[in-house]
Amino acid sequence: MRVEIWSDIACPWCYVGKARFEKALAAFPHRDAVEVIYRSYELDAGRAKDDVLPFLTMLTKKYGMSRAEAQAMDENISSQAAAEGLEYCAQGRDHGNTFDMHRLLHFAKEQDKQGELTDRLYKANYAERRSVFNDHERLVELAVAVGIDADAARTVLADPSAYADDVRADEREAAQIGVTGVPFFVLERKYGISGAQPAEVFTQALTQAWGERTPLEPIGGTGSDGADVCGPEGCAVPQQG
Amino acid sequence: MRVEIWSDIACPWCYVGKARFEKALAAFPHRDAVEVIYRSYELDAGRAKDDVLPFLTMLTKKYGMSRAEAQAMDENISSQAAAEGLEYCAQGRDHGNTFDMHRLLHFAKEQDKQGELTDRLYKANYAERRSVFNDHERLVELAVAVGIDADAARTVLADPSAYADDVRADEREAAQIGVTGVPFFVLERKYGISGAQPAEVFTQALTQAWGERTPLEPIGGTGSDGADVCGPEGCAVPQQG
């Protein structure tokens, strides 16, 4: 069973939502048959790479919140993160463009390191003091921490076209599916869950999607009807034509 | 829309079926929205790598066909291949273990070269005289022909564990889905098509699957119900909890 998670490292609810989903997954009896794929979604794609600013400042500038509103929002997320056992610095965190992180995550996917690098990037962004924005060497260091070769990561980061198509493809798919915010969880391309819902909601969704797995519907008859197929008994000679 | 094709380079109906599917796809109005993924299936996984033998000999030995039956079968495939415009040597072709080819195809997938390498391997196996079995340098040459780096291909081939898990995962999925012969086409994990069916069957399947694409069913309410989500308007402060 396949679960796709559209998310952004710069999205605090994605950080919390991932933990809630994983709590549900860890308790799901068929967890070993669940494949989790992370898909790219940039919350702030239009921001220049060198336009890095404190998270709270971004909230006041971009969304017109008062400083108090921004702080209240961040403190709320902070307490919900704490409830999930996540480290979270409510202050002094940066915000910026995440395109390069998404490219690096697609590269990591090829090495079965996507989940680990996602975790490492979240932790770096939300629980550590050093900024992850506009700093390739910081990203290289985080990639190395999950077992990715430093030079390979550096090469990917230095070439802005590397894995750019993969990021864009994920974002196009998000638009087609109707994703307007993240985190967004898709099960079997059938069920959609928007936001960092409680673990119980993920449990319900996993259970429902699992229960509704249906066998494939055959089109055009099967091998025994004379279709041209190779199998354990050799390659069939069709009865007709 | 996603189409997965389980197949094996050593399967002549896979070679023919791919051409028939592609004929249907080329005429399908929404072809640009169709993603094709090749999945591994070994027809003869138990054969030792160095146990390479002529295809017709394999048919007589493995399946107990008479020489005349084996030739008739191969000539039938040959004429059907010709009808699809495919080159096909009915004689003098080898058969063997394809595990290394599948590993290489998974490596090629990471570079968006899987489709091209599949084509190149089919052509080499069915239309060219030099054997593709138990000969890594031949596979390196074919990989290079589609733009893959020779040393990288060589490194993958030399390490029998490289991409082995990907091959096994595809084969496990085939078993779960109930695939007992190839080619086997799966559309949207909903429809299954067994064998090298006529292009019209693929057209029908593509049309049907496309028409039945359904919007995702939401679970747990949406962002507007107070779920914790970040989007164009910022990161929501939930109404409750």
Q: Where are the beta strands (DSSP E) in B46-142?
A: 53-54, 94-95
Out of B180, B182, B192, whose CB is closest to A217?
Answer: B192
The pLDDT of residue A226:
53
The pLDDT of residue A240:
41
For chain B positions 91-120, those within 8 Å of chain A (CB to CB) are 110
Q: Is the pLDDT of residue B97 over 80?
A: yes
Q: Which residue has the higher pLDDT, B22 or A218?
A: B22
Out of A13, A178, A219, whose CB is closest to B229?
Answer: A13
Q: Do B230 and A73 touch (CB under 8 A)?
A: no
Instruction: Pick the closest to residue A112 from A138, A146, A75, A136 (CA basis).
Output: A146
* Cβ-based contacts under 8 A for chains A and B: 187
The pLDDT of residue B37:
94
Rg (CA), chain A: 21
Residues of A with CB below 8 A from B234's CB? 59, 62-63, 65, 73
Residues of B with CB below 8 A from A43's CB? 230-231
Q: Do B191 and A237 touch (CB under 8 A)?
A: no
Out of A13, A180, A186, whose CB is closest to B216?
Answer: A186
CATH of residue A93's domain is 3.40.30.10
Whether residue B235 lies inside any domain: the answer is: no
Whether residue B223 lies inside any domain: the answer is: no
The pLDDT of residue B83:
95
Whether residue B216 lies inside any domain: the answer is: no
Pairing of strands A2-7, A184-187: antiparallel
Whether residue B199 lies inside any domain: the answer is: yes
Give the chain B residue whose CA is nearest to the CA of A239: B76
Q: Do B234 and A201 touch (CB under 8 A)?
A: no
pLDDT-based confidence at residue B237 (cuts at 50, 70, 90): low
Whether residue B36 lies inside any domain: the answer is: yes
Give the chain A residue whose CA is nearest to the CA of B46: A232
The pLDDT of residue B235:
80
CB B235 within 8 A of CB A13: yes
Q: Do B191 and A227 touch (CB under 8 A)?
A: no
For chain A positions 211-230, those within 8 Å of chain B (CB to CB) are 214-223, 227-230
Q: Which residue has the higher pLDDT, B237 or B118?
A: B118
Q: Do B235 and A77 touch (CB under 8 A)?
A: yes
Domain that holds residue B40: 2-211
Out of A11, A205, A235, whose CB is closest to B13?
Answer: A235
CA A93 vs. chain centroid, Å, equals 21
- B105: helix, strand or coil: helix
Average pLDDT over residues A40-56: 95
Q: How far apart are CA A215 and CA B179, in angstroms?
A: 11
Complex ipTM tops 0.85: no
Please give the torsion angle defined by the CA atoms of residues A132, A134, A140 and A145, in that order, rounded to the nearest 10 degrees: 0
Share of chain B above pLDDT 90, in %: 76
Whole-model pTM? 0.75
Question: pLDDT tens across B184-210, in order?
Answer: 999 998 899 999 999 999 999 999 999
Q: Do A228 and B192 touch (CB under 8 A)?
A: no
Whether residue B47 lies inside any domain: the answer is: yes
The pLDDT of residue A239:
46
Out of A12, A217, A219, whose CB is closest to B235?
Answer: A12
Whether residue A219 lies inside any domain: the answer is: no
Q: Which two tokens stand for residue A16?
A: 């919390």
Q: How far is A2 from chain B (nearest CA, A)?
A: 11
Stated as kind and residue range, the H or E segment containing A61 is helix A55-63
Q: How far apart are CA B74 and CA B58, in angstroms?
A: 12
Q: How far apart are CA B226 and CA B238, in angstroms?
A: 5
Q: State the SS3 of A165-224.
A: HHHHHHHHHHHHHCCCCECEEEECCCEEEECCCCHHHHHHHHHHHHHCCCCCEECCCCHH
Q: How far apart are CA B95 and CA B85, in angstroms?
A: 23
Q: How far is B137 from chain A (nearest CA, A)?
A: 24
Whether residue B80 lies inside any domain: the answer is: yes
Out of B76, B201, B232, whose CB is closest to A237?
Answer: B76
The pLDDT of residue A216:
84
**Relative orientation angle of helices B114-127 and B12-26, to the nearest 10 degrees:** 130
Residue A180, chain B, CB below 8 Å: the answer is yes
The pLDDT of residue A237:
61
CB A47 within 8 A of CB A94: no
Stated as kind and residue range, the H or E segment containing B193 is strand B191-194
**Largest distance between two CA atoms of chain A:** 77
Domain count, chain B: 1
Q: How far is A216 from chain B (nearest CA, A)?
A: 5
Q: How far apart are CA A116 and CA A149, in angstroms?
A: 14
pLDDT-based confidence at residue B138 (cuts at 50, 70, 90): very high
CB A26 within 8 A of CB A202: no
pLDDT-based confidence at residue B238 (cuts at 50, 70, 90): low
Average pLDDT, chain B: 91
Q: Do B236 and A195 touch (CB under 8 A)?
A: yes
